[in-house]
């Protein structure tokens, strides 16, 4: 099992050196179906709230080199087979940092508690912010709820028209180079 706190401690300075902010470091089953694991790193450029492909590749190379050097020096960071996956958090991003609950207040979120809280495990509704370690959400079922941040299993934004409208546009560089060919009628 990988020590995620240690991985985050090592990866965060690599991201910061490139001007990025780390959103999440997580081990998860590989999507390749090979039984291995993926070390998922989500980061964002604070200027855009996202990473474009070139930025993902740059961070991936930097982290890979750092991890290889540490492993060559004898520090085992991840046991067994794994692959590195670097991505942007996306529009319906995970809420992982305290500031995420403040920055995204006013948008719909889905929060899953580690254990049922006040008889409910999943909360969905308008995110109202964070105050003294309590996440405020206007849940569609329970109404106003204050959830202890340290008891959250997972939290993410819900894709809505309002969220799309509020999100900075993705980098469209290169889009003008796309050539569409008309198919001749047979």
pLDDT, tens digit, 9 for 90 and up, residues 62-83: 999 999 999 999 999 998 888 9
Residue 178: pLDDT band by 50, 70, 90 thresholds? very low
CATH of domain 4-87: 3.30.300.70
- On average, the pLDDT of the chain sits at 88
Give the whole-number percent of the chain exceeding pLDDT 90.
71
d(CA 131, CA 179): 50
So what's the pLDDT on residue 30?
76
Average confidence (pLDDT) over 45-70: 95
Residue 175 in this model has a pLDDT that exceeds 70 = no
d(CA 176, CA 183): 20
Q: Which fold has domain 98-166?
A: SH3 type barrels. (2.30.30)
So what's the pLDDT on residue 31?
72
Q: What is the pLDDT of residues 95-121, one digit of tens each?
A: 999 999 999 999 999 999 998 778 899
23: three-class secondary structure by DSSP: strand
Tokens of residue 92, six digits:
């319906």
What is the pTM for the complete model shown?
Answer: 0.81
Q: Which value, to the nearest 10 degrees, does the dihedral of the CA atoms of residues 43, 110, 30, 20 take?
A: 0
Q: Cα–chain-centroid distance for residue 148?
A: 20
Q: Which of 78-82, 88-92, 131-135 has the highest mean pLDDT?
A: 131-135
Give the whole-number percent of the chain exceeding pLDDT 70.
87
- Domain chopping of the chain, boundaries: 4-87, 98-166
């Amino acid at each position: 099992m990988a020590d995620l706190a240690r991985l985050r401690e090592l990866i965060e300075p690599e991201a910061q050196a490139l001007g990025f902010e780390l959103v999440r470091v997580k081990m998860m089953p590989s999507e390749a179906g090979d039984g291995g694991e993926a070390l998922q790193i989500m980061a964002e450029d604070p200027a855009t709230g996202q990473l474009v492909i070139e930025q993902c590749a740059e961070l991936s190379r930097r982290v890979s080199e750092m991890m290889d050097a540490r492993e060559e020096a004898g520090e085992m960071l991840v046991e067994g087979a794994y692959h590195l996956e670097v991505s942007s958090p996306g529009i319906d991003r995970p809420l992982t940092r305290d500031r995420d609950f403040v920055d995204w207040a006013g948008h719909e979120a889905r929060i899953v508690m580690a254990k049922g809280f006040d008889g409910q495990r999943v909360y969905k509704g308008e995110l109202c912010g964070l105050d003294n370690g309590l996440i405020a959400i206007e849940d569609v079922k329970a109404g106003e709820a204050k959830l202890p941040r340290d008891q959250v299993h997972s939290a993410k934004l819900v894709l809505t028209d309002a969220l799309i409208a509020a999100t900075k546009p993705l980098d469209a560089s290169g889009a003008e180079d796309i050539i569409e060919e008309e198919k001749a009628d047979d």
